[in-house]
Amino acid sequence: MHRKQTVPLPCAVLAVAVLLAAVPCSSQERSPNTDPRNGAVPLPSLSEEWRAHLVLDNDGVGVWTVDSFNVFEQFACPEIVGLDDKGRCTVLEGYSGRWRPVTTISDREWLGGLAFGDVDPRVSGCELYTGGKRGNLYQVPAYRNGVLDNRRIAHLPGREIHTIVGGDLDPTHPGKELLLFTRPGGLYRVSPTGPNGTFETKPLGDLAGRVRQAVVLPAKEGEAPEIGTVSRAGRFALLRITPDGPKWTCVYEAAMGKGRLALRPPRPGQPTVVYTTHDDGRILRHERRGKDAWHTETIYLGPQGPRGVVAGAFDKDPSVETVAVFGYSRRLEVLKRTPAGWQVETIFEDLDKGHWLATAELDGRNNTREIITSGYSGRVVLLSRPPGYGRPELADPADRVTPGPKAPPAK
């Protein structure tokens, strides 16, 4: 019987191997983290006063709609919600720079419409609602153990669900409901009033073109709510549900499709202001000067194909009017109103065309709101001002001056 011979390693080689195993890698030698689930992933920004971080890498699958809500009530930080081209709804839970994705629904084709609120009194807390290309409408409740559920509550054969708003929107109907805007152009009311926990769906009429985004405007107590809408037919119009049916008031119309709209955060003593986009790149500002009187002005002649607009406090001076725009140019631009007129700064450029924007308060270390982007790249990206921005009375952190990797100038 032959014994297997073992050849010992040379002493010098063995000693080196032991030393290498015992010496930890320095932070400079470690590979940079590229997975937001493990920690913050900085991305190149085009502005020294903005930082960009990756929230979701969706493996190249487009994320068409993104927004931020407090989905899990037990957490003190709002989550980010994204809808993608494979019919998935992903809720991204943030924790100290990390983002944990929780995914639900498998509708096989894109989801687009998204709303959040306590519409269904039979479910504890608020619910997510989403629908898309296949005409299916889903309710997504969240549980305190971090789990999401979903069920189909309506189906519209031959209709794509593009836009959803929820709330007490129909004075003729008790409780809260959802309004769905579809393609081909249509308006539907869905309410949690069916037997055995089901929902009822009622068509409210056909529309000239699909509504691509809608927001509920501020209303005085006792007044029927108004819903601001923009449509592919080129209209910025207001919708009210009345006992005689839907009532539309056209604020602005042009021979060019409209894509997105944003409501300026309400200010005491200030009029309602809405920003809208044209597909040709124009950004418009609409200021309400009476019940049915609006003043419209063009504030930016930007790249063609804007696919996202949000308004909020993006400057260190909260009284300054600022608007962010994103779209097919891949550029995220911030517009700022000054005594000399509107100025524009490009702060970020994505890998592919942009499709949606949202804003939220996700970082309390500055005095501004954050901006969330999504689109054809399959990425969800968070843009924020550095710690201490707008807070000169506080100690400056070390990374305030150099917030992150610098990107090459935008083309």
Is the predicted pLDDT of residue 391 greater than 70, yes or no?
A: yes
Q: Which residues pair with 203 in a beta bridge?
A: 188
- pLDDT tens digits, one per residue of 235-257: 999 999 999 999 999 999 999 99
* Amino acid in position 238: L
**Lowest mean pLDDT across 149-153, 177-181, 268-272:** 268-272
Q: How far is CA 406 from the centre of its chain?
A: 24
Residue whose token pair is 């040709």: 280
The structure's pTM equals 0.89
Taking the alpha carbons at both ends of the chain, their separation in whole angstroms is 75
- pLDDT tens digits, one per residue of 328-374: 999 999 999 999 999 999 999 999 999 999 999 999 999 999 999 99
**CATH code, residues 65-207:** 2.120.10.30
Distance CA 128, CA 120 (A): 10
- CA-based radius of gyration for the chain: 25
- pLDDT tens digits, one per residue of 282-309: 999 999 998 889 999 999 999 999 999 9
Is the predicted pLDDT of residue 9 greater than 90, yes or no?
A: no
Confidence of residue 406 (pLDDT cuts 50, 70, 90): low
